[in-house]
Amino acid sequence: AQTVTQSQPEMSVQEAETVTLSCTYDTSESDYYLFWYKQPPSRQMILVIRQEAYKQQNATENRFSVNFQKAAKSFSLKISDSQLGDAAMYFCAYRSTNTGNQFYFGTGTSLTVIP
């Protein structure tokens, strides 16, 4: 089964600075999707960014970008110019293209943004 590991339970960043959240995964599949979801306190999980494994180019969404290293099975999230509203729990997730629709999640990283 696929596993997703987030080794940083908590991270903090100064407002306007850059922070990188780590994620590694384990799979024998060659084609899959990777996601970062953000969950603000008492709110639903919101998709931040996604990456298709067949694409070599790293995904970017405004201040959010990923460093996708397929061979190393690494998928880190970089948040540039951090804002107070970025404070949330961030989940890394894997989704197979072959074995159904379920997501495999990491344990999450709680990000604090310091004013």
Partner 1 sequence: EPEVTQTPSHQVTQMGQEVILRCVPISNHLYFYWYRQILGQKVEFLVSFYNNEISEKSEIFDDQFSVERPDGSNFTLKIRSTKLEDSAMYFCASSEGSWVTEAFFGQGTRLTVV
Query: Where on the chain is the footprint of partner 1 (CB under 8 A)?
Result: 4, 33, 35, 37, 42-47, 50, 52, 91, 93, 95, 100-108
For partner 1, give the closer residue by CB, 51 or 82: 51
CB of 16 to partner 1, least distance (A): 27
For 42: left if phi > 0, alpha if psi spans -120 to 50, otherwise beta; the answer is left
Query: Per residue in 87-100, is it b (16+ CB within 10 Å) or e — as a string?
Result: bbbbbbbbbbeeee
For partner 1, give the closer residue by CB, 1 or 115: 1
For partner 1, give the closer residue by CB, 13 or 49: 49
Number of residues assigned to the chain: 115
